[in-house]
Structure 1
Amino acid sequence: MIYRKEIDGLRSIAVIPVILFHAGFSGFSGGFAGVDVFFVISGYLITSILLSDLSAGHFSILRFYERRARRILPALFFVVLACLPLALAWLAPFELRKFGASLVAVSLFASNILFWTEKGYFDSAAELKPLLHTWSLAVEEQYYIIVPVFLLLLWRFGRAFLGLAFAIVFLASLGLAEVLSKTAPTAAFYLLPSRAWELALGAFAALILGSQPPRERLWRNQVGAFLGLAMILGAQALVSEATRWPSLQTLIPTVGTLLVILFATRNTLVGTILSLPPLVWIGKFSYSAYLWHQPLFAFAKYRTLGEPSAVLMAALTLLTLLLAFVTWRYVEQPFRRAGPEARFGRAAIFGMSGLGIAASAVIGFAVYRAEGLPARTPQLSGQDLAFAGDGVPWIVTPEADHVPFVLIGDSHAKHFFATFKDRLGDGALFAGPNCFAFATVHNLPRMQRPLDPESCLATADRLADYLRQHRTTRIYLSYFWDHDIAERGTGQRIGSLRDPAVLSKVMQRVERDLRQLAPQSEIVLIGGTPAARPAGPGLERGYARCLFLAGADCPTSYPRARREDAEINAMLARWAEGRPNLRFIRPSTNLCDAERCFILRDGALLYSDGAHLTRPGADLALRDLLN
């Protein structure tokens, strides 16, 4: 395959915005689209190599995987190895446990699947996961498993048939991406079926350029290449994390990449720009730059217990490029060369690859099974650090005709459920993330945590069906009590529950709905859990992390938050007062004294993050309040 400088230049155009986007610099809100550019480039290069081998009659799957192992694995395992001591030194146990899981996933080429399953309401911020970026490598590796066999089986039918087959893959995958970006955006983002169309675009370029070299029509090449580069740069500058991705909108940078590959010959302006030595130079070690940037940024953000300064992020960006060059020169290059002059033969490459895979998997599994090695720090050893709702489904429906309680709410119902079960027996739970849903009202999704309102309303319908068919002594309502409420059916906004008039109006409807469904049940309102976010450095990222890194410098309590008590809880207490078969209980009674609320009390950590409780915290909050 003929080397094209402009492809290395295009790699620079892909990787630099990705790095600057993750570093938080303005002007690169769509820098993540660089990954899509990489997908198209990979599809083009891999398909070109395979087609060339098929045309020459010396296609070998074994040689193909040898090339992939030489290209991908040495630098990958080198960076993973460099991450391990930092993870052991800095990550709190529950975070180190997840890091161990990611090591296993990387070794199995399945990190995209892991991060898809982890992406949930209570998951750590993506920016704090050192190996998150390996999801895109997993997508490509999964593609590499399929495409050689795909081409080998269809090659006999000719290039036209191959083009038709790739077109079917392209249309099916793009259609799936468009649908999933609306219904299951996390799956759309991480999984191969909704990303394969981007690699197929690159395959189209390989088929086109392989069947007939482009004619030197300068005006056409100039226009096509310029349009393609403009589409790539425009997407990187203008789209944002709020854009559905991947979707039809992702056609902008990916089709732009296709145009650049097809038309950016060396005699075009774009081809000349992409062939400039600095861009080609960075493009050569762009893979290593991609590998290094996420761990460096994640560990910096983790260690600082807040947002690193722009100066630090700029320095880390430069360090990324330096480490990338060193890795390319001394790790990538020695392993890349194959053939008689290779420093490492095929057997050595496969042997070292197997050893790297096995070591990564074993170390990761050991760390995972050891629960993140909590004994590394005395103040966390033996602590229950997890969110009390970990492992609890959002909906639990015992089949008994009579259940002792039905707990309804959002995540603040979930963190109380295990305590309810211990105290009251096997009851039911109907909850959802940011979910306030009843027969006549429901919540509006918050901008900062998008929520599919249909799933919330489906929870309300299941609750109604359950209450019609089962009897219960008490119905408990436990919320963060900060929802914006709308009419069910029309979706018209009623207002925020922090407005006393809105709270009264909404609660009257909720009471009416529940009285119709369960007329004999007592209704109990559980006041809001005090939020630990206002106190001290790092608490917005989780108190366990602060305690692990800062030790005695991390506060164990914070000034009592009047907002929760004086506003929401006081309004709920007044509304419940005097109503028959309805009462109000206040968890803050046990979590706070007159002056402060506690994060650590009697040696037990009460909060798993700034708003949710550990199991000891939930038990303390409800002590003497359930009967």
Structure 2
Amino acid sequence: MTSHETWAYSRKSPAPPRHTYAPRYRREIDGLRAVAVLPVIFFHAGFVAFGGGYVGVDVFFVISGYLITRILQDEIARDAFTLAFFYERRIRRIVPALLVVIAFTAPFAWAWMSPQQLEDFAASVFSVALGLSNFFFLSQVDYFSPNAELQPLMHTWSLAIEEQYYFLFPAALYLLRKLRRPMLFAVLLVGVCVSFAICLWGMSENPARNFFFTLSRFWEIGFGALLAVGLGARDRLGEGAVAGAFAGLGLVLIFVAIFLFSATMPYPGPLTLVPVLGTGLVILFAGPATLVGKLLAARPFVGIGLISYSAYLWHQPLFALLRLRSVHDPSPEALVAVAVASLLLAGVSWRFVEQPLRKRRGLFGARPALFGAAGACFVLLISLSLAGYLAKGVPARFDAGVTRYLSAATDRADRGDGCFFDLNHDLPRQPVPGCAHPDAKARMDVLLLGDSHALAISEAVGALLERRGIGYYDVGYGGCIPLPGFHRVDLGPAHRCAAFDTSVLDYAAQAGVSTIVLTARYTLYLEGHRYDNGEGGREPGADAYIDVLGKAGGVDDPERRARVLRAYEAQIRDLAKRFEVVLVAPVPEPGWNVPQVGFKHALFRGRDSVVSTSYAGYQARNAEVNALFERLAAELARVRLVHTAEAFCEAASARCVNADAQGVYYFDSDHPSQAGARRLAPLVVEAIEGARAAIRP
């Protein structure tokens, strides 16, 4: 990532002993850095074609391991190696530009970040100063999640891994200096294999954390070290047609990873071998006479390669700040402009920050002055970041008119009574203690059943039921449609939705429950894809879809969709033979995180800005499900439908409100907050009372 050594010695450096190899500068490796950094930038810009652009970091890892191992080998052979000199070079190479980028980012973070975001930013600065940012992000964020896009220093995870590697490797290489080359190669190979095995284990245990884990990544840098040791005194292996073919194959492998990989693939893991081996082939075979060598040694590639470290440093903060400042998703034009700006700033940074401070002259020419200045800067960083973290992001920066939106993130139902389950729980035995209201001895007339949307409205609905003296039983299961006979294809057999539904409904029948209220994301489970509101908001998360038991169609399989829709009707008709059924239609989905978008509206557009989405979008999204429910409610006397749009949408304005001066009605991108539930609850209770009235003698 950071390694860009010139392999040149000053006049004061000891001259290499006779017959000792001194490594030479290879322009094509600088060109290879351009091939690595540009896809990373384009990936973070969200360009679909560069779905695997994140593999540029793997290319950097291999290059770094190769170059620094060659330099260390040469210094050890010349008896010129010292840890102090090694770390001096690393500080001159890494620290100045990094400090400039952090100093540039901090004022914008202060002005634009919410308290929680600023608290996280402060913690990330603290971890960067300690060289442990990969562990911070390992515990905080999935690299491929939308939240990662708002982390200005998220990309420093790779710098941390390199620094952790080079904290150990130079001393180890020095201690092993007397080993013959085959034996040293074997020792390194064992280390690489152990790290790769840890990577494979981590991929199955926790892929999100595995991405940032040090030992899951060491093998990539170690692979570059293997190349250096294996080459010995040679720069590369051959120059002929065979070398050209292998170099071409290497470049093809890198391009395959960049353009054919995606964020949904398990990574790192076996797939990581593709860009790693491709980089190795280019390093081994791309000589000046090969086509690949000539291409990578061309001035544009070399120029971008020279500034690649600064480009890598600048791109993520700029993209994150753009997204923080944008109320909705930035336009493609804005993202392109930021990508270009990152390269321009990289050129300035390389010329006026990197280059001057890499030379041992001027204010920080002496090693003690350099170490002292670097230490002072990191102490300052640690102090300021710790202060920001302990102050919890300094919420006093904003008035209540702004922060009220953020408080909605915690305005959610929290029964705390063990009545809501998911795939991480064993199936409960019915009845579940504490889930009958007002108490277990009261007659239960109503069952509230569903997924997390049922949980979101349960407290508000329950409060109204209790005021009317209506007893109810309230349970739910995350991501579970409250109709028997279905399974979540994307979650597998661990998600025991069908068994949960059957046990609850059987208990309800035995307990004399007359009315069941079914609330769920019926459209999501049918469609499979998260909601895109067409206005810059798309709900994060993977596809979530169901099929009938015994079937497992694909998310876009029209036969699956038709089968599920038919089964919806059959199951509801069957339940209507046993109970009065209240169907709660799908709640309008905002698509964007309402507290965050509301915060931005208040900050950038005025305190009382209304956050809303298209009513037509809701209608189009839920057309099939709502049409089915309306038909069943019209045909079956024992089925009633709650039109949730009546609580949030207005035909006159053609908008569905997410937040306004009276409240913030969602706590994320789809779940109603308590304020939102209070808008919807009266409609649900009205339908319940209508159902109960129909069965009275």
TM-score (norm 2): 0.72
Is 1:287 aligned to residue 309 of structure 2? yes
Is 1:600 aligned to residue 655 of structure 2? no
Kept in 2, the 8 Å contact 1:439–1:464? The answer is: yes
Kept in 2, the 8 Å contact 1:27–1:237? The answer is: yes
1:476, 1:344 → 2: CA distance?
75
- Correspondences of 1:140-179 after superposition (within 5 Å): 140-148=162-170, 150-152=172-174, 154-155=176-177, 157-178=179-200
Return 56-65 or 406-415, whichever deviates more.
406-415
For residues 340-368 of structure 1, the C-alpha deviation after alignment (integer angstroms, 9 at most, x for no partner) is 77834333333333343344344444444
Kept in 2, the 8 Å contact 1:407–1:417? The answer is: yes
- Correspondences of 1:225-240 after superposition (within 5 Å): 225-240=247-262
1:508, 1:376 → 2: CA distance?
53
1:606, 1:265 → 2: CA distance?
62
SS of alignment partner, residue 364 of structure 2 = coil
Which residue of structure 2 lines up, in the alignment, with residue 386 of structure 1? Answer: 409
SS of alignment partner, residue 66 of structure 2 = helix
Is 1:486 aligned to residue 507 of structure 2? no
Is 1:532 aligned to residue 590 of structure 2? yes
1:121, 1:342 → 2: CA distance?
39
Which AA in structure 2 matches 1:453?
G
Which residue of structure 2 lines up, in the alignment, with residue 542 of structure 1? Answer: 597
Which AA in structure 2 matches 1:356?
C
Is 1:505 aligned to residue 570 of structure 2? yes
Which residue of structure 1 lines up, in the alignment, with residue 670 of structure 2? Answer: 611
2:152 to 130, 136, 152: 130
1:620, 1:361 → 2: CA distance?
46
Kept in 2, the 8 Å contact 1:543–1:610? The answer is: no
SS of alignment partner, residue 456 of structure 1 = coil
Which AA in structure 1 matches 2:520?
Y
The percent identity for this pair of structures is 34
Change (3 A) 1:162 1:27: same
- Correspondences of 1:266-277 after superposition (within 5 Å): 266-277=288-299
1:478, 1:182 → 2: CA distance?
34
Unaligned runs of 5+ in 2: 1-6, 8-22, 437-446, 527-545, 689-697
Kept in 1, the 8 Å contact 2:50–2:258? The answer is: yes
Which AA in structure 2 matches 1:403?
G
For residues 291-339 of structure 1, the C-alpha deviation after alignment (integer angstroms, 9 at most, x for no partner) is 111222232344343454444334333322221111112222233235x
2:413, 2:386 → 1: CA distance?
20
2:62, 2:47 → 1: CA distance?
25
Is 1:351 aligned to residue 372 of structure 2? yes
1:40: Cα distance to partner? 0.7
For residues 150-187 of structure 1, the C-alpha deviation after alignment (integer angstroms, 9 at most, x for no partner) is 43555555443332233233334434545655664323
Change (3 A) 1:404 1:281: same
1:349, 1:466 → 2: CA distance?
69
Which residue of structure 1 lines up, in the alignment, with residue 529 of structure 2? Answer: none
1:123: Cα distance to partner? 6.3
Change (3 A) 1:354 1:264: same
Change (3 A) 1:600 1:268: closer
Change (3 A) 1:587 1:366: farther
Kept in 1, the 8 Å contact 2:97–2:349? The answer is: yes
1:112 to 109, 116, 134: 134
Is 1:9 aligned to residue 31 of structure 2? yes
Change (3 A) 1:557 1:164: same
Kept in 2, the 8 Å contact 1:604–1:616? The answer is: yes
Change (3 A) 1:222 1:415: same
Which AA in structure 2 matches 1:491?
A
SS of alignment partner, residue 435 of structure 2 = strand
For residues 402-423 of structure 1, the C-alpha deviation after alignment (integer angstroms, 9 at most, x for no partner) is 1225986554356457879999
Is 1:441 aligned to residue 486 of structure 2? yes
1:121, 1:36 → 2: CA distance?
14
RMSD of aligned C-alpha atoms? 4.7
1:526, 1:87 → 2: CA distance?
41
2:376, 2:134 → 1: CA distance?
22
Which AA in structure 2 matches 1:385?
A
Unaligned runs of 5+ in 1: 446-451, 516-520
Which AA in structure 2 matches 1:140?
E
1:530: Cα distance to partner? 2.0
Which AA in structure 1 matches 2:597?
G
1:506: Cα distance to partner? 4.8
Greater RCO, 1 or 2 (C-alpha within 8 Å, sep 6+): 1
1:255: Cα distance to partner? 1.1
- Correspondences of 1:35-50 after superposition (within 5 Å): 35-50=57-72
SS of alignment partner, residue 355 of structure 2 = helix
For residues 529-570 of structure 1, the C-alpha deviation after alignment (integer angstroms, 9 at most, x for no partner) is 222349xxx979733333332226843455655468886467
Is 1:412 aligned to residue 453 of structure 2? yes
1:202 to 211, 224, 231: 224
TM-score (norm 1): 0.79
Which residue of structure 2 lines up, in the alignment, with residue 299 of structure 1? Answer: 321
- Correspondences of 1:209-220 after superposition (within 5 Å): 209-210=231-232, 214=236, 216-220=238-242
2:297, 2:184 → 1: CA distance?
31
Bigger Rg, which one: 2
2:89 to 45, 67, 74: 67
SS of alignment partner, residue 547 of structure 2 = strand
For residues 251-298 of structure 1, the C-alpha deviation after alignment (integer angstroms, 9 at most, x for no partner) is 222212111212223344433332333322221211001111122223
- Correspondences of 1:507-586 after superposition (within 5 Å): 526-533=584-591, 542-551=597-606, 554-557=609-612, 560=615, 561-562=618-619, 568=625
2:33, 2:40 → 1: CA distance?
11
Which AA in structure 1 matches 2:100?
F
1:10: Cα distance to partner? 1.4
Is 1:262 aligned to residue 293 of structure 2? no
Return 340-349 or 568-577, whichever deviates more.
568-577
Return 274-283 or 34-43, whichever deviates more.
274-283
Which AA in structure 2 matches 1:442?
H
1:35: Cα distance to partner? 1.5
Change (3 A) 1:565 1:51: closer
1:83: Cα distance to partner? 1.1
Return 4-13 or 559-568, whichever deviates more.
559-568
Is 1:326 aligned to residue 391 of structure 2? no
- Correspondences of 1:174-189 after superposition (within 5 Å): 174-178=196-200, 180-181=202-203, 184-189=206-211
Kept in 2, the 8 Å contact 1:544–1:608? The answer is: no
Kept in 2, the 8 Å contact 1:412–1:612? The answer is: yes
Change (3 A) 1:390 1:16: farther
Change (3 A) 1:111 1:343: closer
Return 616-625 or 317-326, whichever deviates more.
616-625
Kept in 1, the 8 Å contact 2:587–2:645? The answer is: yes
Total equivalences in the alignment: 608
Change (3 A) 1:606 1:155: farther
1:616, 1:583 → 2: CA distance?
24
Kept in 1, the 8 Å contact 2:236–2:287? The answer is: no
Kept in 1, the 8 Å contact 2:659–2:665? The answer is: yes
SS of alignment partner, residue 263 of structure 2 = coil
Kept in 2, the 8 Å contact 1:374–1:382? The answer is: no
1:413, 1:253 → 2: CA distance?
46
1:68, 1:477 → 2: CA distance?
61
Return 18-27 or 201-210, whichever deviates more.
18-27
Which residue of structure 2 lines up, in the alignment, with residue 456 of structure 1? Answer: 495
Change (3 A) 1:418 1:122: farther
Which residue of structure 1 lines up, in the alignment, with residue 533 of structure 2? Answer: none
Which AA in structure 2 matches 1:528?
P
